[in-house]
Amino acid sequence: MSGILDLLNSDLGKTMISGVASETGQDQNKTGDLLTMALPVLMQAMNRNANSAQGAESLQNALNNKHDGSILDDLGSFFQGGVDNEVVNDGSKILNHVLGEKQPNVEKALGLKTGLDANTVAKILKIATPLLMGYLGKQHHQSNINSGDDLTSMLGGLIQGSSKGVNHSFLESMLDADGDGSIVDDVAGMFLDSNKSQGGISDLLGKFLK
């Protein structure tokens, strides 16, 4: 299975990056760098949520209904004239659901790594997250997902595909280095540490993606 970051390298992904950058008034390269770091983190957080019956049911309902992938059918029109506030509000709700009270920590960490302020990071993610959900919705329907186990298998495959076959449990342990189940604190720490020295999650992901 292709990885989630293959989306960003495709023509669709390039249109997505260009549109998000234009919509937020940001540099296209920085926007691409931000999404390259953020998407695996969001995917891993979704995968964790889907490991509970309630989380899997919630995500499946979203992918079966609102986020069926149709949002990606004509991205040119989607971005033309500005992104609808309803989409931005939806993105905000998704991020809050996936990251919870730790969302500001992740936005700050991503901002420090990319040189963007946290408010700009939040704006970019609010627009990009519904598009990510649309991509997952398409994958969900194409894979004929019928159970929570199938869903976590799909999510895990997309994460592993992004890291060129790196073991899923290794990625899990990397994102939750202290084993406390809090993905966001550990990711934030890795970003912050990478500002001081070589290393950090972006470097690790860079090695995975070569």
Q: Which of 34-43, 89-98, 109-118, 194-203 has the lowest mean pLDDT?
A: 194-203
Res 19 pLDDT > 70: yes
For residue 150, the model assigns a pLDDT of: 77
For residue 164, the model assigns a pLDDT of: 46
Contact between 28 and 21 (Cβ < 8 Å): yes
Tens-place pLDDT, residues 44-70: 788 888 888 888 888 888 888 788 888
**Residue 99 vs residue 181, higher pLDDT:** 99
Q: Which of 15-19, 91-95, 120-124, 168-172 has the lowest mean pLDDT?
A: 168-172
| Biggest CA-to-CA distance, the chain | 45
What is the Cα–Cα distance from 116 to 31, expressed in whole angstroms? 9
DSSP state of 199: -
Q: Which of 6-10, 140-144, 190-194 has the lowest mean pLDDT?
A: 190-194
Residues 6+ apart with CB under 8 A from 6: 13, 161, 162
Q: Has residue 1 been placed in a domain?
A: no
Full domain range(s) for residue 185: 6-208
For residue 161, the model assigns a pLDDT of: 59
The structural domain count of the chain equals 1
* SS3 state of residue 115: coil
For residue 26, the model assigns a pLDDT of: 94
Mean pLDDT score of the chain, rounded to an integer? 75
For residue 182, the model assigns a pLDDT of: 55
Tens-place pLDDT, residues 101-141: 778 888 887 888 888 998 999 999 999 999 999 988 888 77
Can you give the length of the chain in residues? 210
Q: Has residue 85 been placed in a domain?
A: yes
